[in-house]
Amino acid sequence: MTEKKILIVNDDVSEAIGLKKALRENNFEISGIVVDVLDAIQHSGSQRPDLVLLKIGISGSVNAIKVASKIIENYRIPVLFIIGDDDTELLSQIKKLNNPVFLIKPFGENELIKSITLALNRHIAEEKSRRNRNSANVDPIETGLADVPAPAITVNKRGAITRANKEMEFLTGFGRNELIGKKLLSFIDTNADEKKGEEEVEIWPENVLIKISDGTTQRASIFTGFLKTYGDNFDEQILIFKKESGEVEFASKNIDVIFAKVLNSLDEIVFVLNTKMEITHYNQKFASFAKRISITGFQLSRPVYEIPQFSKIADVNLYEELFKNAKEMKQIKRYGTDKERLFMLFRFIPLETEGKVTHMITVMSDITEIEDSRQKASVIYEEFMKNSSHIKNIHTAMGDIRTALYQIVKFVERNPDKLRDPAFQQVANLTRNAEKKLIVFDSVWSKYQIQLNMMKMDAKNRFSKK
């Protein structure tokens, strides 16, 4: 049996280390330790641990119970809750989740392992039951709707919703039971002067405002089609929704149309996040970049902390800090391997409304060529400095030669009678000639030193650390 992977979500470092040690001693593998709830969602999606050990009360803009719900619903990973003895009032909220397992502090190692085993076994049983229910479902439309990679529903001839997939639940925030049986028009927000009676609605409009569970609305496009004949359902049709990028109030003034053209005209990759961590705007270059790292178009309609691959673009926690600090920032990130590498320069630009940051623009520029040139130039500079050191050693050696020649000249001066010896006289002449050559060398060396210092100053400015 393979070791089960456990993700520890705990912002108490000593407590997390203690849990890690206890789990390893009991043959569990540690998928990771994260200290922020948004990281927990991303890690769960990308690493797919077998269980998430989640401490209630951990920091983050999203509460831990909501995070657990998203992990369970999105990735079908069981969550074991750790709560303090003074947090028992949260049990009623936790129990609303699907048959949860929880630990109340303080607890011992044996209790921890038993709870993990219980949570894993309960999850296995629930998954088996779910698969049995799915296999017993003889409605092929229900099965097909679940495979549609976008929010989708079926509507009967009376305008009532008959089926809804999980993506539709994500889009609206309403559960399946809250959608099925309700009139579609009750979820569509229309202006007073555009309202029509149900009998007057002949076709669905291409663009609508969908009512969201939190009271807001979301602009979406509808793609519709009739279903193939199945059983007695001859008059059903399927509606597939596509979330439109851009804020609704902007779209009503046609500002988004202009903004989209501006974004797509830029050479850089650009996208915009709001305080809910949703991507409200992006250009085609960002869409292409996202596709390269396996982010689907539908994923872009969800909060970025629910997109596991988004961590390859940027850290979600960084955006939380940017929204708090309201400051522009630059960052360079490297992708790929040494053979095929990509360097991106990130510029984070906050947008304020009435003194409060509401959106964060991210501009990504490919600086691979510049960074490669910088690194190559740095290598050249390092080689240059090495050679400069060698030349300096030569200058030192020349100084030693000068000292030796100077000693010869002084010896001649102290022994004038030796000059009558032709051989000795020749040595004296050669020594004086060598000294003259050294004077020329000193002049050249002085010019070299000036040029070298100028090059060093220029190199320091060009290749200093960022």
pLDDT digits (tens, 9 = 90+) for 216-252: 888 888 877 766 555 455 578 888 887 775 443 444 4
Higher pLDDT, 102 or 447: 102
pLDDT-based confidence at 113, cuts 50/70/90?
very high
* pLDDT at 253 (0 to 100): 43
Average pLDDT over residues 394-411: 74
From CA 103, how far away is CA 81, in angstroms rounded?
6
* pLDDT at 138 (0 to 100): 62
From CA 381, how far away is CA 359, in angstroms rounded?
42
Local structure of residue 212 (DSSP, 8 states): P
Residue 392, C-beta contacts closer than 8 angstroms, at least 6 positions apart: none
From CA 73, how far away is CA 266, in angstroms rounded?
38
From CA 210, how far away is CA 164, in angstroms rounded?
14
pLDDT-based confidence at 135, cuts 50/70/90?
low
Q: Which amino acid is at 446?
A: S
Indicate if the pLDDT at residue 465 is higher than 50.
no
Indicate if the pLDDT at residue 102 is higher than 80.
yes
Most confident of 1-10, 17-26, 50-59, 150-159: 17-26
Indicate if the pLDDT at residue 196 is higher than 50.
no
Indicate if the pLDDT at residue 452 is higher than 80.
no
Weakest-pLDDT range from 145-149, 310-314, 340-344: 145-149
CA nearest to 21, candidates 8, 34, 37: 8
Indicate if the pLDDT at residue 152 is higher than 70.
yes
From CA 4, how far away is CA 77, in angstroms rounded?
12
Mean pLDDT, the chain, as a whole number? Answer: 79
From CA 388, how far away is CA 391, in angstroms rounded?
5
Indicate if the pLDDT at residue 194 is higher than 50.
no
pLDDT-based confidence at 350, cuts 50/70/90?
very high
Residue 290, C-beta contacts closer than 8 angstroms, at least 6 positions apart: 282, 300, 309, 313
In three-state secondary structure terms, 76 is coil
Q: What is the pTM of this model?
A: 0.56
Weakest-pLDDT range from 17-31, 41-55, 184-198, 383-397: 184-198
Higher pLDDT, 89 or 251: 89
Q: What is the pLDDT of residues 262-289, one digit of tens each?
A: 777 888 999 999 988 888 888 888 988 8
What are the structure tokens assigned to 93, written together? 């909220």
Indicate if the pLDDT at residue 119 is higher than 90.
yes
Long-range (24+ apart) CB contacts under 8 A made by 321-328 are 322/348, 322/350, 322/357, 322/360, 323/275, 323/350, 323/357, 323/360, 326/350, 326/352, 326/357
Indicate if the pLDDT at residue 88 is higher than 50.
yes
* pLDDT at 424 (0 to 100): 72
